[in-house]
Amino acid sequence: MKPGIPKGTRDFGPKAVKKRNYIFNIIKGVFTKYGFDSIETPVMENLQTLTGKYGEEGDKLLFKVLNNGDYLAKADQQALEDKNSNKLTSSISKRGMRYDLTVPFARFVVMHQNDLAFPFKRFQIQPVWRADRPAKGRYQEFYQCDVDIIGSKSLTYEAELCFIYDEIFDALGLDVEIRINNRKILAGLAAFVGVEDKFQDMTVAIDKLDKIGPEKVILEMTERGIPKEAATTVLELIGQKDLEAFEKTLNTQELAMEGIAELKKVYKYLSTKTMKNTVVFDPCLARGLNYYTGAIFEVVGLNVNMGSLGGGGRYADLTSIFGLKDMSGVGVSLGAERIYDVMLEKELFPSDLDEGLDLLLIAMDEEAHDFGFSQLSQIRSAGIQAELYPDPTKMKKQMKYANARQAKFVAIIGSEELEKQQFTLKDMVTGNQQLVDIKALIDKLS
């Protein structure tokens, strides 16, 4: 049997794990600095928690876990007879795998509402699963990094999320543009052109502007029942990236003016801190998810060909699907997998992540080997990452291992060294060798 792993999944070896942890640690550090706490939710959720939350397409992409035991005994017999997979599923599967971190977060907040202090600030860095067709940069199992504040309408949080993006990408060494918009402006715009009832269609279409261009967006809008004239006006207006211009055009639209005022307030908060990256008003930014109701964000890498590196927004009512109303929140996420790919491509990982062992001890015979082992604890106590090659085998084989482990130093123990209780210490970079005792060895490597 030839071993393999499911398509769209990955093994991470030592080097990849170090690089991934480097990214996660920077992200966690900034989240923690801003007062966010980590929570973790189970990989498996009840299927009814997940179903219907991600649209029809999302339901299809959910991984469902088969019930254990004799699941066919309790299966929907009609669905079985009809060979109706879709209908059968809920009777043979009651659990699904987490599809994102937002729905589990909403579920968590509702379940634990009596134990939480609101506004509740949490971050969550865990993998999610989607049965999407695997492609370059698209996996079936991948990490999401979410940060949210729930239980407050304060716009200070919108500003702080921009600070968080800014500090994280700065620490990672990536130049980005943080794009911001407000769904109220878009809703006011829809009202202004008389397609209030087609708001969702309009946002889904203009969200694709970067990808497919203005003509195709207009075409998509008309196909979705928006009059061509209205669609054209929308495109003309969102082409203006000037907030003042919006304010003039939409001054009769109360909701739009509310969104503009919110945006101005966010900019006022942003002005209190020197940022490395800029926050740009982008009226084309729509974000397709229909739970966003206020500010929306997107981060795009500059000088990289890699789409969005993160996004998010404010939601007025995320937890109401689980029965808890009036819990406004705002959050963003970071596309850790894409960030990883960009950082690899641009060689932004610090070189010491790839560093190997500090020291490999190499013994030439059984007695020397025992001596080598007896010295290890003392060396390790000094904070030196040291190992003894497991057997006193051929020098060549041991040196090959030293190279494979990228050992910085090798300490050779032959019969002569053993007699003196010393080591021939070899610097693997310069090739220099010197005879040292244990104290000198520790001094040299500490």
Residues 101-160 that bind its own copies (CB under 8 A): 107-108, 110-112, 115-117, 119, 122, 127, 129, 131, 140-141, 149, 152-154, 156-157, 159
- Contact between 325 and its own copies (CB under 8 A)? no
Cβ proximity to its own copies, 211 vs 396, nearer residue: 396
Residue 280 φ/ψ, nearest 5 degrees: -110, 130
Contact 350, 22 (CB under 8 A): yes
Least CB distance from residue 357 to its own copies, whole Å? 6
Return the structure tokens found at 316. Answer: 């007025």
Least spacing, CB of residue 42 vs its own copies, in Å? 4
Nearer to its own copies by C-beta: 81 or 215?
A: 81
Interface with its own copies, residue 45, by CB under 8 A? yes
The footprint of its own copies on residues 330-369 (CB under 8 A) is 357
Q: Which stretch binds its own copies (CB under 8 A): 40-48, 168-176, 235-243, 298-306?
A: 40-48
Residue 234 beta carbon to its own copies: minimum distance, rounded to whole angstroms:
34
386-388 and 409-413: which strand pairing?
unpaired
424 binds its own copies, rule: CB under 8 A: no
The distance of closest approach from Cβ of residue 303 to its own copies in the complex, given in angstroms and rounded to an integer, is 27
CB 370 within 8 A of CB 45: no
What does the block give as tokens for 381?
Answer: 């106590």
- Rounded to whole angstroms, the Cα distance separating 8 from 114 reads 39
Closest approach, Cβ 310 to its own copies, in A, equals: 21
Which CB contacts under 8 angstroms, 24+ apart, belong to 19-25? 19/340, 19/343, 19/344, 19/349, 19/353, 20/143, 20/336, 20/340, 22/349, 22/350, 22/353, 23/172, 23/336, 23/339, 23/340, 23/343, 24/125, 24/143, 24/145, 24/336
Count of residues of this chain found to bind its own copies when the rule CB under 8 A is applied: 102
The residue within the footprint of its own copies, chosen from 192, 281, 401, 409 (CB under 8 A), is 401
The answer to whether residues 364 and 149 touch, using CB atoms and an 8 Å cutoff, is no
Which residue number, 153 or 224, has a Cβ lying nearer to its own copies? 153
State the Cα–Cα distance between residues 212 and 205, nearest whole angstrom: 10
State yes or no: residue 245 binds its own copies (CB under 8 A). no
Considering only residues 213 through 242, tell me which ones interact with its own copies, judged by CB under 8 A. none
